Amino acid sequence: MTDRRPPELPVLSDAQILGARGPRNTVDPFRPYHMLVEAEHTADGRVEDVATVFLSNRECPYRCLMCDLWKNTTTQKVPDGAIVTQIRHAIAELGPTRHIKLYNSGNFFDPQAIPIADRDQIGELLHDYETVIVENHPQMCGSACMEFAARLQPQLEVAMGLETSHEPTLARLNKRMTPADFAAACQRLTTAGIRVRTFILLRPPGTTEEQGIRRAIESVRFAFDHGVNCCAVIPTRAGNGMMEHLQHEGLFEPPCLASLEQVFEQTLSWQRGRVFVDLWDIAAFARCRICVDERVARLHRMNLTQCSQPPVVCHHCGGTSVGGD
């Protein structure tokens, strides 16, 4: 795999990032915009169904360079009771599971997204679950988070986007935090008995393929060093307007599937915590259409077992599912 030095990624303002956007989708403030049940290797080592509810609420106040989650948000705060109605509807539709993710395209503890008045009722609705997972920015992991966890019957787990521990890249992602901020949030959460999972980007803008692999591995190590229980590695995608612009300018290129396999193999071998790879639309990152299905199936098995699986060797492209495409 050849490497080259990419052009310097510019520092972009909120206005520039917003200006590159296309239209957002229309969402109903009283219904989740999506929901599903999928199997996951849980913290206690079992493979169990996890319900995921994608809540409709006001857009996140942070304008991260690579984010496309704003597409399914409202421009105004939703009415009090709307989030409770969404969760109640989702629970009835999805049926019983022991674990639930409440993902809201932003920050669960942002009062402009999830009204403070709804938190007690949300806690009551979740009483019978074993684990509740919410997403939140490290800068918003304050007293409200600790108070909610103290009142919640299930185990609370907070998912935070580290994206990368490479500080210059993190600054250019407009994340509005440093690796030290992330580490401090982890300390506050874990001290309060709250579990932490994080999202790591593979090859964010301004990085080469080799840098993407190396920095993703470093970022997973950084997360585990600061008490994270679970890392999800996500190949960086276009799709929000600005990322297409950067790709056109030669400042961004999506990673290849082999790079994701390499990062997964190495970080999973440490057995320091759970590591998952995001498989949404993953075939788009493959260079060979002949072996892609087998390779994706292998990654899915590794997600569930948390163990390496026999490599897929492709006689068409000459590649393997370990370290090369």
Residue 22 pLDDT > 80, yes or no? yes
Task: State the pLDDT confidence band at 323, using cuts at 50, 70 and 90.
Answer: very low
Domain boundaries, the chain: 25-305
Q: For residues 58 and 73, is the Cβ–Cβ distance under 8 A? A: yes
Residue 95 pLDDT > 70, yes or no? yes
Task: State the pLDDT confidence band at 1, using cuts at 50, 70 and 90.
Answer: very low
Q: What percent of the chain has pLDDT over 70?
A: 97
Q: Which amino acid appears at position 315 of this protein?
A: H
**pLDDT tens for each residue of 151-194:** 999 999 999 999 999 999 999 999 999 999 999 999 999 999 99
Task: State the pLDDT confidence band at 34, using cuts at 50, 70 and 90.
Answer: very high
Topology of domain 25-305 in CATH is TIM Barrel (3.20.20)
**pLDDT tens for each residue of 266-296:** 999 999 999 999 999 999 999 999 999 999 9
Q: Which amino acid appears at position 199 of this protein?
A: F
Task: State the pLDDT confidence band at 315, using cuts at 50, 70 and 90.
Answer: confident
Distance between CA atoms of 50 and 28, rounded to whole angstroms?
23
Distance between CA atoms of 83 and 103, rounded to whole angstroms?
11
The two tokens of residue 37 are 């049940």
**Residue 274: closest CA among 182, 217, 197, 192:** 197
Q: For residues 125 and 87, is the Cβ–Cβ distance under 8 A? A: yes
The region, left, alpha or beta by phi > 0 then psi within -120 to 50, assigned to residue 286 is beta
